[in-house]
Amino acid sequence: MDYTTYFQNHRESHLNELEELLSIPSISALSEHKSDVGKAAEWIADALRRAGMESVEIHPTEGHPIVYAEHLHAPGKPTVLVYGHYDVQPVDPLELWETPPFEPSIRDGKLYARGATDDKGQVFLHIKAVEAILKQEQKLPVNIKFCIEGEEEVTSPNLPGFLKANKEKLAADAVLISDTALLEPGKPAICIGLRGLCSLEVTVGTANTDLHSGTYGGGVSNSLHALVSLLASLHDEQGRVAVAGFYEGVHELTAAMREEFSKQQFNEDKLKADLGLDTLYGEEGYSFVERTGARPTLELNGVYGGFQGEGSKTVIPKEAHAKITCRLVGDQDPQDMLDKIERHLRNHLQPGAKLKIEQLEKARAFSCDSTNPMLQKAADAYEKVYGTRALFTLDGGSIPIVEQLSFVLSAPAVMMGFGLPDENLHAPNEHFNLENFDKGLLTIVEYLKSL
């Protein structure tokens, strides 16, 4: 039977299987979920075995395990390495979820659950595409390897070591990754660039104990005052980052790139309406697509200190905290950036306050060449299924391991995304549009058969 019919016939059982995977709370950032992350690895390995993949193994690491599998029975044909991740982001604030994050629920043609689109749902498409070809044709048109990790949401600390130690085993002509998004429903995109990332945690301390704001107020430093004034100094009034040297290494946009961006016909008014915003906000002189694809950022992801309960509490808190991440582009170096930010913070600290800075993740920006045939054939596959050729785009997010995969394996990264930009990845009510679930399966089959 044709693949459209095959996937229609198996749709219910496929969705049931995916819901089983989405029910596992495999949050890699929270140590209390370590065993759940392990369960998700087992689930992926079992699914690969059921699909007909061979040499399936769960490779333990110092953190969460990596699942490997292969099917190498197409001599003379290219080898494709499918990369993805089965770990997910934390779920707070839990109260904003319409249905619990680990109790998958389908509403209006969308599957709601943490990890639905990022990235369990998209990894699942590759497993089922391979299974479909093997069931229908008893062989695969290419050699295929899977490398599915459990630490992508904590910037893959153990995968680079695994890649280097298993370079031969993982060797491939292309790394196939589905962890990005279409531009909008019906408008497919192949991501050829990702922003880099660096992150840090800042603690401002004042007295050695919390103090009564009546007895001491007005006479001693308040850690929250010191922190907010420090954090406010990181941006100027136009929203540009005020850290000295922040924009070094950024490549200014060429006319050609701006032209490529404009093809997306991105609708800023629709975005505003969708997000309930009166106005977008960012660097002067750039469109939303340019700001998020080609410009660096410094974002506060969390700020906290003092009393957060019901009512009020007259306290001067002894310490206050901030979590910060930067998105990097071009040749910006993550370590250099962290050092510049640290210098800025030390120079702008209020008298009487102490500063503790912890540098966390570091990943460079990534880009690849859209003229490579492995990428061009991906655009063709989209065209056959969606009726529209995929545009080559830059994505504002970071998948730090993509640069590593492409560099270590000397292979292009083919980022065929099947998510949508408004699917709340990393936020409450994450979901996956089932139209792209259906088309994604067909596009992957189409791509593998075209190679």
Within residues 398-427, the interface with its own copies by CB under 8 A covers 398, 421, 424-427
| Contact positions with its own copies (CB under 8 A) in 234-263 | 235
E strand intervals along 86-132: 105-107, 110-112
The yes or no reply on residue 355 touching its own copies (CB under 8 A) is: no
Residues numbered 266 to 285 that lie near its own copies (CB under 8 A) are 275-283
- Going from the C-alpha of 284 to that of each of 207, 233, 238, 239, 327, the distances in angstroms are 40, 18, 7, 8, 18
Nearer to its own copies, 74 or 303 (CB): 303
Binds its own copies by CB under 8 A, chosen from 168, 252, 256, 311: 311
- The footprint of its own copies on residues 335-354 (CB under 8 A) is 350-352
By beta-carbon proximity to its own copies, the closer residue of 419 and 440 is 419
Count of residues touching its own copies (by CB under 8 A): 95
Q: Tell me how crowded residue 205 is: count the other CB atoms within 10 A of its CB.
A: 19
| Per-residue DSSP letter, 79 | E
Beta strands in 76-224 (DSSP E): 79-85, 105-107, 110-112, 143-149, 174-177, 189-194, 196-205, 211-212
The alpha carbons of the chain give a radius of gyration, in whole angstroms, of 23
Q: Which is nearer to its own copies, 8 or 262 (CB)?
A: 262
Q: Which of 309, 369, 371, 387 binds its own copies (CB under 8 A)?
A: 309
359 is a site residue for its own copies (CB under 8 A): no
- Figure out which of the listed residues 220, 242, 253, 355 binds its own copies, where binding follows CB under 8 A: 220
> What kind and span of H or E run contains 5?
helix 3-9
Q: Is 283 exposed, middle or buried (0-12, 13-18, 19+ CB in 10 A)?
A: middle
Per-residue x/- marks for its own copies, 118-157, CB under 8 A? ------------------------------------x---
Under 8 Å between Cβ of 295 and 286? yes
Identify the CA nearest to 93 among candidates 321, 324, 428, 423.
428
Cα distance between the two ends of the chain = 21
To the nearest 10 degrees (0 to 180), the angle between helices 11-22 and 34-51 is 160
Of residues 51 through 90, those in contact with its own copies by CB under 8 A are 89-90
**Is-contact 416 178, C-beta < 8 A?**
yes
What single letter denotes the amino acid at residue 157? Answer: P
Q: Specify whether the CB–CB gap between 50 and 131 falls below 8 A.
A: yes
Other beta carbons within 10 Å of 24: 23
78 in Cβ contact with 142 (< 8 Å):
yes
Report the residue number, 69 or 231, with the smaller CB distance to its own copies: 231
Interface map 165-204 toward its own copies (x if CB under 8 A): ----------------x-------------x-x-x-x---
**Which neighbouring-strand residues pair with 147?**
68, 83
In the window 288-307, what residues touch its own copies (CB under 8 A)? 288, 291-292, 295-297, 299-307
Q: Which of 44, 144, 204, 316 binds its own copies (CB under 8 A)?
A: 316
* Residue 224 or 379 with smaller CB distance to its own copies: 224
Nearest distance, CB of residue 402 and its own copies, angstroms:
12
The single residue among 218, 252, 254, 369 that binds its own copies, judged by CB under 8 A, is 218
Among 41-49, 70-78, 211-219, 385-393, the segment contacting its own copies (CB under 8 A): 211-219
CB neighbours of residue 450 within 10 Å:
13
For position 310 contacting its own copies by CB under 8 A, the verdict is yes
Residue 90 CB, nearest distance to its own copies (Å)? 6
Which of 13, 49, 60, 96 touches its own copies (CB under 8 A)? 96
With vertex at residue 64, the alpha carbon angle to CA 417 and CA 58, rounded to the nearest 5 degrees, is: 85
Length of the chain: 451
Q: List the x/- string, 18-47, binding to its own copies by CB under 8 A.
A: -----------xxx----------------
Q: Which window, 8-16, 38-46, 311-319, 441-449, contacts its own copies (CB under 8 A)?
A: 311-319
Q: Which is nearer to its own copies, 165 or 300 (CB)?
A: 300
